[in-house]
Structure 1
Amino acid sequence: MKRAVIVGAGIAGLATALRLTQDGWHTLVVERAPARRSGGYLVNLLGGGYDAAERLGLVPALSDRALGLFTTVLVRADGRPKLTVPSAVAEAALGPRTMTVFRGDLETALYEAVRGHVEIRFGVTVSSVDQDADRVGIGLSDGTIEDADLLIGADGVHSATRTAMFGPDHRIDLPYVVAAFPLAHPVAAVRESSATTFIGPGRTAAVVNLGPQRSSAFFAYRCADPGRELERGPVDALRAAFGDLAAGVPEAIGQLEPDPSGVFFDRVSQVDMPRWSTGRTVLLGDAAWCVTLFAGHGAALALAGADRLGTALQRHGDDVSSALAEWETGLRPEVVKRQALARRGMYQYAPPSRFHVWMNDVTIRAITLPGVRGLIRRGIERQNR
């Protein structure tokens, strides 16, 4: 039986463990954190991501957790509405093969799918790697040494596996910070089954109200020193950047004060690597190609990458090198495209001027026109091929 050690128990790592286990591999997942982590921001599964979720058998479990579509109200700083985008617009644009879920629910569905079939060790890291043409030996911090056919680094944008095996200079830090978190209870200022979104020069704030245990908040802003923002902590940093806004923003930030541990709060980074594998070590997900939240396809790419890796390994049998080469050749064009879209998305989430804000408003108004929806949908379909 072939063996794989997977570093990281997030979406990319668990999806890879699920796919390889389905193909008959013995997989061990090691995770630095002492226990499972949860995060409540929204992820969209469409295109290859939805196809992968379907092939991995996740759609039935995710359907029970799907959030559906909702109305978005674009607001001014004082909370007054500027324009409304009905949920029917998103439905017409995206089509039926799409699903929006909380990231934590996707991770839970993956965890439930592998539980009992995959060994997962929490609080464990990789301390050494010794590989040759035939095997890879992995020393772990719990004192064990694992002999495997493949080492898979799926440990995120700050990947220790990437740094150890490829060097430290592949992460590109951008002058933005993002925060996303679940809301313990809906914000009263936001109508149920809707989201209010403020987009101003250099920043975006969105509060989603889909009912109890189904609501969340998202913030993105440009700043000169993201590291300093992270040192301040999410509550102080978000209050400083968004404290002048209404439309439920103060209440959403206030929910962080008792316990900010559930927030995703980080600088915006991309990962740009000339290759994703070396020998029998391969990177997957944000560890290899982080596209940023501005692209909106991180989870979908993680699922698709895991599923396609399994297909390539299955096709090439013992020829791991050929499998990894084929897998990367097939996936890289999509990743490059998503990273380029993310860089353009910075103008959407953090417009550099009031003129750019106005242009965004014009674009959104155009999208709401019935004759434009079909064009938008066909454009999305082309992007997801």
Structure 2
Amino acid sequence: MRNEQQHVVILGAGIAGLAAALRLLQQNWHVTVIERAPARRSGGYLVNLHGPGFDAAERLGLLPALRPRDIGFFTSILVHPDGREKLTIPAAVAQAAVGDRALTLFRGDLETALYEAVADHADIRFGAGVQAVDQHADRVDITLTDGTELRAALLIGADGVHSRLRELVFGPETEHLVDLGHTVAAFPLGHLPDHVPSGVGTTFLGPGRTAAVMNLGPGRSSAFFAYRSPEPKSELSLGPSAALERAFGDLGGGVADALREVAADPAIAYFDTVGQIVTDRWSHGRIVLLGDSAWCVTVFAGYGAALALDGADRLGAAIAARPEDLSAALTAWEAAIRPEVLKRQALARKGISRFAPPSRAHVRATELMLRAIALPGLRTLVQRSIQRANN
């Protein structure tokens, strides 16, 4: 059992956990990362880093590793159910709206860059989770599911929306998870979609559902699905292949290409219900929750990865400012970042209608807005609106 004044145990080797590991390594902490999965996972959906998320990546020293992985801006095409083109949004429009201080990455590429930054300096263990915690005035004793016992000055829970640490310390998931009544799926494409032009992302938008397929070259192509599901848990019981076929099987084009891939190997898909974590505290003594474990803004916010990086970086800064009183440092960090989290959660709830429009009228309204972007005068107004939301 380790007994170190600056030993931190981090549960979860995702973006939030690895970013916290990197930040605290830079502050000379001894870092142990525990990941319940048996090995690292890759792939996933696209994430955008801009505003505070880009700034945090820069402060963490990640930009040299991330820039070569940047997908950049690409042409987006809104399509009919059969895959025919409906309207096109040039890449330059998105670039003008977001600006130059932005990166578009696959979630797995961001995690890889973080992992490579910490792997030689942290103790990273796979295939174990947290079984029990016992907090004292000067330490936290942690028992893992494999029987290992650890002792640390600080325990960070970055073990995802279904956090076991949150359950142990803050109460059962049912007290914190707000079900938003939707299901999402995302997966990489092993074969380039036949019905999507190279360098293009296509999106079908219909009442209660969205399907996006991106052909960005070998190893960089992916699919994303979101749909309204009054009984999300029943969707999970079907599994990704059957559930997506039922929700999107009537569509053609790139969607049909993607559905064939997930039918051949359902294990490639990230597939889960959509819910936000809402709780009135993220820290207790020397224990703190971070990222989806604490707040889960959901994919509808389009800001989860950026907030995970920013939250981890700001957590490290708070600890550095009050190293002699970790409880006070965690409290100060929480007070500072909570307004941003609440803002992003509110934007996500409003953003549901963009991913799963309630009606055909909402679909038409979205299409009109996208067409307006092509008009110089209105484009400026839309871009300013996007920039305000990103900052």
TM-score (norm 2): 0.96
| 1:376 pairs with 2:382 | yes
Q: Where does residue 21 of structure 1 map in the other structure?
A: 25
Deviation track 1:75-128 (CA, whole Å, cap 9, x = no partner) reads 111222221111010000000001001011111101100011000111111111
Which of 21, 46, 50 is the matching residue for 2:50? 46
Q: Is the 8 A contact 2:77 2:86 kept in 1?
A: yes
Residue 331 of structure 1 and its aligned partner are, at CA, apart by 0.8
Q: Is the 8 A contact 2:97 2:386 kept in 1?
A: yes
Residue 367 of structure 1 and its aligned partner are, at CA, apart by 2.3
Q: Where does residue 67 of structure 1 map in the other structure?
A: 71
Q: CA RMSD in A?
A: 1.2
Residue 141 of structure 1 and its aligned partner are, at CA, apart by 2.3
Q: Where does residue 190 of structure 1 map in the other structure?
A: 196
| 1:103 pairs with 2:73 | no
Deviation track 1:265-285 (CA, whole Å, cap 9, x = no partner) reads 000010001011111110000
Q: Which amino acid aligns with 2:96?
A: A
Q: Is the 8 A contact 1:172 1:272 kept in 2?
A: yes
Shifted more, 369-378 versus 329-338: the winner is 369-378
Q: Which amino acid aligns with 1:345?
A: G
* Partners of 1:372 and 1:307 in 2: CA distance: 37
Deviation track 1:126-155 (CA, whole Å, cap 9, x = no partner) reads 111111222111112232321111110000
Q: Which amino acid aligns with 1:14?
A: L
Q: Where does residue 85 of structure 2 map in the other structure?
A: 81
Q: Where does residue 261 of structure 2 map in the other structure?
A: 255
* Partners of 1:201 and 1:189 in 2: CA distance: 23
Q: Where does residue 268 of structure 1 map in the other structure?
A: 274
| 1:325 pairs with 2:331 | yes
Q: Which amino acid aligns with 1:144?
A: T
Q: Is the 8 A contact 1:181 1:217 kept in 2?
A: yes
Instruction: Report runs of 4+ in structure 1 exceeding 4 Å deviation.
Output: none
* Partners of 2:277 and 2:361 in 1: CA distance: 30
List gaps (5 residues or longer) in structure 1: none
| 1:90 pairs with 2:94 | yes
Residue 42 of structure 1 and its aligned partner are, at CA, apart by 0.4
Which of 250, 254, 259 is the matching residue for 1:244? 250
Q: Where does residue 55 of structure 1 map in the other structure?
A: 59
Q: Where does residue 281 of structure 1 map in the other structure?
A: 287
Residue 7 of structure 1 and its aligned partner are, at CA, apart by 0.5
* Partners of 1:306 and 1:68 in 2: CA distance: 25
SS of residue matched to 2:138: coil
Residue 370 of structure 1 and its aligned partner are, at CA, apart by 2.0
List gaps (5 residues or longer) in structure 2: none
Deviation track 1:44-103 (CA, whole Å, cap 9, x = no partner) reads 111111111111111111111111111111111122222111101000000000100101
Q: Is the 8 A contact 1:176 1:221 kept in 2?
A: yes
| 1:118 pairs with 2:122 | yes
Distance 1:368 1:328, change over 3 A: farther
Residue 207 of structure 1 and its aligned partner are, at CA, apart by 0.4
Q: Where does residue 231 of structure 2 map in the other structure?
A: 225
Which of 157, 160, 163 is the matching residue for 1:156? 160
* Partners of 1:62 and 1:282 in 2: CA distance: 28
